Amino acid sequence: MAQDGQTFKAGLEDVVANTSEICFVDGKEGRLIYRGYDIHDLVKGGSTFEEVIYLLWHGELPTASQLAELTQSIATQRALAPEVLQFLRSVRKDANAMEVLRTAVSVAGIYDPDNGDESMEANVRKATRLVAQVPTIVTTFERLRQGLEPVTPDPSLGMAASFFYLLNGEKPDDFVERAFNIALILHADHELNASTFSARVTAATLSDIYSAITSAVGTLKGPLHGGANEQVMRMLLEIGDVSKAEAFIDQALAEKRKIMGFGHRVYRTEDPRATHLRQLSREAGERAGETKWFEMSQIIERIVKEKKGLNPNVDFYSASLYYKIGLPVHLFTPVFASSRISGWTAHVLEQYRNNRLIRPRAEYVGPTNRTYVPLPERN
């Protein structure tokens, strides 16, 4: 039953739910814009992930001194509270990494030094800790599940290099650092995607920022949102060889199986993030002397375009890139969270600055005017 003449749209497709100055997805032109800056310009201009974090939070690119201050602030707050580390040590080693991250974020909120202070200044400090510590949570649990001790953060490293150092205990080479920095930028924000929307809904109740981010992590865990590149890589691993790729995809399409990593709810052209990830995937394979994952991806892209008219999205080439730079497949979604925490926090801060409770309506399709029958009279 529609309310007030409004038209129901499944999944809220194309429904404008709020205003924002943070990110614009131009689906028609295939552009992704952060605070007015095209991501192509940010990537080609050599931006660091920290620079993009500042842009998303404050609306302007930082000066050298502002960037240095934020970079230092993030770098010096990567260490986890003892209680968070204790929690990670206590978790069963076969636990889902996103479930662990979801709960660890909640635990971190309890022990945040600014817990209970909901001023904007305190929330910016909390956002800084979240951006700094989400990658530490992800990498620390991965080491613990392998029977290894956590690595002490190195404050001299930027976000991209720090992730690999915390994961492997070694600094990455220049290509891996550059490629991962670009990937972090490309995944930083994407307008009102499902996890960002859930974060804003939680923040709109004036719940704390850790609760909002916990909501976002729980939403990202869903395979229709955050797990697609993991499924892409598992498909590539199942195919196994370039010579088998065409037959595999032809059969999958004939059986009407969904090929992950293609199509998008908003973009009607190629996902602009895929443009950079395709090139990085190629470079990663060439540098390693093993291009089969990229070659298989090219074959799959060609066939799906020809037969389904679908373009690759951000998940498709990020899969083979992440695999070739040494990221475990089961960490692909937590890596997504380690980037998107920048956008989530930006949206939560924006929600707090101009808050209105988010309370949409539902189209009721059940019965009306039923007659109540007392319990003794029911058959």
pLDDT tens digits along 320-357: 999 999 999 999 999 999 999 999 999 999 999 999 99
pLDDT at 294 over 70: yes
| Angle, CA 57 vertex, CA 52 and CA 63 arms, to 5° | 60
- The rounded radius of gyration (Å) of the Cα atoms in the chain is 22
Domain shared by 333 and 260, yes or no: no
For residue 300, what pLDDT is reported? 96
| Angle, CA 286 vertex, CA 49 and CA 227 arms, to 5° | 50
Mean pLDDT of 69-94: 98
Catalytic: 315?
yes
Q: How confident is the model at residue 203 (pLDDT cuts 50, 70, 90)?
A: very high
Q: What percent of the chain has pLDDT over 70?
A: 95
For residue 104, what pLDDT is reported? 98
278: left (phi over 0), alpha (psi -120 to 50) or beta: alpha
Domain shared by 56 and 195, yes or no: yes
Domain shared by 79 and 210, yes or no: yes
- 145 in a structural domain: yes
Measured CA to CA, the distance from residue 261 to residue 270 in angstroms comes to 12
CATH of the domain at 164: 1.10.580.10
Mean pLDDT of 368-377: 95
For residue 27, what pLDDT is reported? 83
pLDDT at 5 over 60: no
Domain shared by 293 and 184, yes or no: no
Measured CA to CA, the distance from residue 300 to residue 297 in angstroms comes to 5
Domain shared by 49 and 172, yes or no: yes
For residue 4, what pLDDT is reported? 57
Give the type of residue at 340: R
The one catalytic residue among 189, 190, 208, 264: 264
Measured CA to CA, the distance from residue 330 to residue 231 in angstroms comes to 10
Burial 15-45 (b: 16+ CB within 10 A, else e): eeeeebebbebebeebebbbbeeebeebbee
For residue 361, what pLDDT is reported? 83
- Give the tens place of pLDDT for each residue, 147-171: 999 999 999 999 999 999 999 999 9
Q: How confident is the model at residue 9 (pLDDT cuts 50, 70, 90)?
A: low
Domain shared by 205 and 345, yes or no: yes
Domain shared by 320 and 333, yes or no: no
| Angle, CA 71 vertex, CA 69 and CA 74 arms, to 5° | 105
Measured CA to CA, the distance from residue 307 to residue 250 in angstroms comes to 9
Mean pLDDT of 3-12: 60
Element (H, E) at 31: strand 31-34
Q: What percent of the chain has pLDDT over 90?
A: 85
- 7 in a structural domain: no
Catalytic: 187?
no
| Angle, CA 341 vertex, CA 335 and CA 347 arms, to 5° | 150
Q: Judge contact between 117 and 64, C-beta under 8 A.
A: no
For residue 375, what pLDDT is reported? 96
The tokens for 199 are: 């974060």
Beta bridge partners of 24: 33
Give the type of residue at 82: P
For residue 8, what pLDDT is reported? 59
**Residue 233: domain span:** 228-324
- Lowest mean pLDDT across 8-17, 47-56, 79-88, 369-378: 8-17
- Give the tens place of pLDDT for each residue, 117-136: 999 999 999 999 999 999 99
Domain shared by 189 and 318, yes or no: no
Mean pLDDT of 246-263: 92
Q: What is the dihedral of CA 233, 172, 100, 191, to 10 degrees?
A: -70
- 1 in a structural domain: no
For residue 28, what pLDDT is reported? 86
Domain shared by 216 and 249, yes or no: no
Measured CA to CA, the distance from residue 133 to residue 226 in angstroms comes to 19
Q: Provide the mean pLDDT of the chain.
A: 94
For residue 324, what pLDDT is reported? 97
CATH of the domain at 317: 1.10.230.10
Domain shared by 289 and 244, yes or no: yes
Mean pLDDT of 97-114: 98
Domain shared by 89 and 162, yes or no: yes
For residue 30, what pLDDT is reported? 87
Domain shared by 209 and 270, yes or no: no
For residue 11, what pLDDT is reported? 57
Q: What is the dihedral of CA 286, 290, 291, 297, to 10 degrees?
A: -130
H-only helix segments in the chain: 39-44, 49-58, 64-75, 82-90, 97-110, 120-145, 159-168, 174-186, 194-204, 209-220, 228-239, 242-254, 272-288, 292-308, 314-324, 332-353
- 372 in a structural domain: no
Q: Judge contact between 181 and 49, C-beta under 8 A.
A: yes
